[in-house]
Amino acid sequence: MQAPCEAMSRKLLPSIRGIIVKYMYEELGLTQLQIARVLGVSQSSISRYINRQRGTWPATSVPELEGKVKEVARLLLENKIRREEVLCEICRYVRTTHPEVLEKFSRITP
């Protein structure tokens, strides 16, 4: 039995980071180094997300979730939310508006 946060952090959040990186890189045109600085991770990590070596679960199967992720990414770039709050904000959103996603993650084995 997993706590909701454990399921989220192991399975959903890497996918969320992947959506954020993809959005910033492909749609906003930021460089890998710029994204790494904004997110507080290494450029190598950003490269792995871009090359689909990390965060490959299709979180985009819930279209509203991708929209929320992009919204939160924009808030981060506009300094309206701290990077420490980004994933928690998305986690709260999933838990309150899409509990079926959380249920699906809880059933996936690592």
- Given a contact cutoff of 8 angstroms between Cβ atoms, the answer to whether 81 and 72 are in contact is yes
With 0-12 CB in 10 A as exposed, 13-18 as middle and 19+ as buried, what is 41? middle
> In the prediction, which pLDDT does 16 show?
84
* Residue 51 CB coordination number (10 Å): 8
Q: What is the pLDDT of residue 105?
A: 61
Tally of structural domains, the chain: 1
Predicted local distance difference test score (pLDDT) of residue 37: 95
CB 32 within 8 A of CB 44: no
Q: Which amino acid would we find at residue 98?
A: H
At 58 the pLDDT is: 58
Residue 30: its pLDDT value, please? Answer: 97
What is the pLDDT at residue 109?
44
Q: Average pLDDT by consecutive 10-residue portion of the chain (110 residues)?
A: 65 83 94 95 94 69 80 93 86 82 60
Whether this prediction's pTM lies above 0.85 is answered by no
> How far, in Å, are 41, 56, 59, 88, 107 from residue 69 at the CA level?
18, 15, 10, 11, 23
pLDDT at 107: 59
Count of helix runs (H) and strand runs (E) in the chain:
7, 0
Enclosing domain of residue 96: 4-107
CA 103/CA 44 separation, integer angstroms: 32
